[in-house]
Structure 1
Amino acid sequence: MPLVVLCGARGSGKSRRAAELRAALDGPEHAAHVVAEAEGGRAALLAEVSRRLGRRDVLIVDAGNELRSVRYELYCAARQAGTARCVLHCAGGGGHGEPPFEAPDPSNRWDRPLFTVGAEEALPLGAIRAALWESRPPPPHRATRSQPLQSASFLHRLDCATQDVVAAVLAAQRAGAQPGQLVRVPGAAEALRLSRPLGMAELSRLRRQFISYAKTQPCDENLPQLASMFLQYLSRSIQ
């Protein structure tokens, strides 16, 4: 199933573009489906995409793809499934107080082929069709092949990284961190901006959800970024 990943700031028209793409790409040979963010957040979205990637239809992801790490995980899922993909960047939108948007960069393999459209521009449907059906998808490689879930090294690092994040968030709150302040974890490039107080029960639940997802997509390249990825997952989950 060819994959189209939409990304853009809030208010950039992603849902409108997803509807346009569905209408343009849906046909007797290839049906088009839109996957939107649902309850369960990032983990549920990626699980749904991975589940649907086995068919020949077109899958359009209209969800919170503001973060590079989310687009990278979708890239891994598509490459593991051996399907073509592209990224559609909806320019514009955003504003004060909105979540940060990490713009796609065509020098990153997970952000290409990349198409960018403004609010009033027509979709480059010919180029999108060519990317989905006329290009040869890259074969799965070691970074996107599932490692054995019994791998002691991967599970140990996943457990330690998520425990360190939970401990850092709780310690920061005990030290007086207030909503709006950043919580940093040693060794992690990302930081968590507290939007509200977080208790141990909620953090433990989110940690379990993240671990369940991470064990289904154990990429070698993700190992050094596990703490940062968990911080990004927390940031999206507590909004």
Structure 2
Amino acid sequence: MPLIILSGYPCSGKTTRAQQILDFFQTKINSAPSDSRESRLRVHIVNTETLSINRTAYRDARAEKEARATEYSAVKRLMSKDDIVIADGLNYIKGLRYQLFCEAKAALTPSCVVHVASPADSCRQWNSERPALPEDGSFTDGSLRYPDDILENLIFRYEEPNGMARWDSPLFTVPYVDETPDLEGIWNAMVGKGVVVKANQATVLKPAAEGDYLHELGKTTQEIVGLVMEHQRNTGGAGSLPVPECGVALQLPANDLTTAQLQGVRRDYMKLHRSHVVGKARIRELFVEYFNKRFE
């Protein structure tokens, strides 16, 4: 069932909004006829508190990556035909929102993004009013203060949702001054009658297909990674890099990517698509599109 992805600055009020959504949806479910589909629904919130993710995880790149993977896995495990999942993490990187969108698409369930729009200065003030982390950095609850350096870093790196991007659509923006937002639109978009999600070539599961698909998946993605590495060694710099036998060009970021970054993108893509079998001719184009979205 539906996946609701919250996004916003740290301390912007996301957990408050997540609870408002849960309460509103639960009221709808409780008032639904006992023999209706809606009456069987369950609502879950997944956030740093439920997952016991330490605030200090965002100070170290490896720990931060593990924290995102923990959230991603928890959301994926909960998705089913009778469960509504509210992903109340930071979801500040568009690549993570794209991955969550793909998982919802593969499960043939609708998804949306709720942007909790609060000014950075307000978030700084609200953070300063919270209790500080214990000296040993141990986790106790989600109401604790972010260390100032982590807060500023996360605000600087925040990638705001864009309703024109399919993985951020539909996009619902909740202003910080709106104490009681209208949540009917989110309910209608996620649970309303007539909401149908169609599978596409990138996500549809096929139990049997080309026998050498996994070999081709690994070979093709490695060829494209090698193409980027060769370009960076010989030329470097941002710009468009044509890919042989592909109608989509790679869009390289301003800073050269490390081998670890490139292989990380390749591994993430292969995890998403190792079961989502597509024709071999499409592997190249889909990987290039995925690469471009990760580094926009």
TM-score normalized with structure 1 length: 0.65
CA contact (8 A) 2:161 2:168 kept: no
Distance, in Å, in 2 between the alignment partners of 1:63 and 1:218 is: 31
CA contact (8 A) 1:22 1:32 kept: no
Aligned to 1:3: 3
Residues 152 and 175 (structure 1), Cα distance of their counterparts in 2 relative to 1, 3 Å cut: same
253, 262, 268: which one aligns with 1:193: 253
Aligned to 2:171: 114
- List per-residue Cα deviations over 1:206-225 (Å, max 9, x = no partner): 533432232144467x7423
Aligned to 2:217: 158
Is 2:17 the counterpart of 1:21?
Answer: yes
SS in 2 for 1:207: helix
CA contact (8 A) 1:91 1:119 kept: yes
Distance, in Å, in 2 between the alignment partners of 1:219 and 1:73 is: 17
Residues 142 and 126 (structure 1), Cα distance of their counterparts in 2 relative to 1, 3 Å cut: closer
CA contact (8 A) 2:108 2:197 kept: yes
Q: How far apart are residue 14 of structure 1 and its match?
A: 6.9
Where do 5+ consecutive residues of structure 2 fail to align?
31-41, 54-63, 121-154
- List per-residue Cα deviations over 1:75-103 (Å, max 9, x = no partner): 44334434343332345769x97576561
Aligned length: 224
Give the aligned residue type for 2:184.
Answer: G
Larger radius of gyration: 2
CA contact (8 A) 2:46 2:74 kept: no
Across the aligned residues of Structure 1 and Structure 2, the Cα RMSD in angstroms comes to 4.3
Where do 5+ consecutive residues of structure 1 fail to align?
none
Residues 102 and 88 (structure 1), Cα distance of their counterparts in 2 relative to 1, 3 Å cut: closer
Aligned to 1:87: 113
TM-score normalized with structure 2 length: 0.55
Is 2:46 the counterpart of 1:34?
Answer: yes
Aligned to 2:76: 50
Q: How far apart are residue 146 of structure 1 and its match?
A: 0.8
Identity, % of aligned positions? 23
Give the aligned residue type for 1:117.
Answer: V
Residues 64 and 153 (structure 1), Cα distance of their counterparts in 2 relative to 1, 3 Å cut: farther
Q: How far apart are residue 190 of structure 1 and its match?
A: 4.4
Is 2:285 the counterpart of 1:230?
Answer: no
Residues 206 and 84 (structure 1), Cα distance of their counterparts in 2 relative to 1, 3 Å cut: closer
- List per-residue Cα deviations over 1:125-160 (Å, max 9, x = no partner): 232233333344315435442134753575466334
Is 2:136 the counterpart of 1:78?
Answer: no
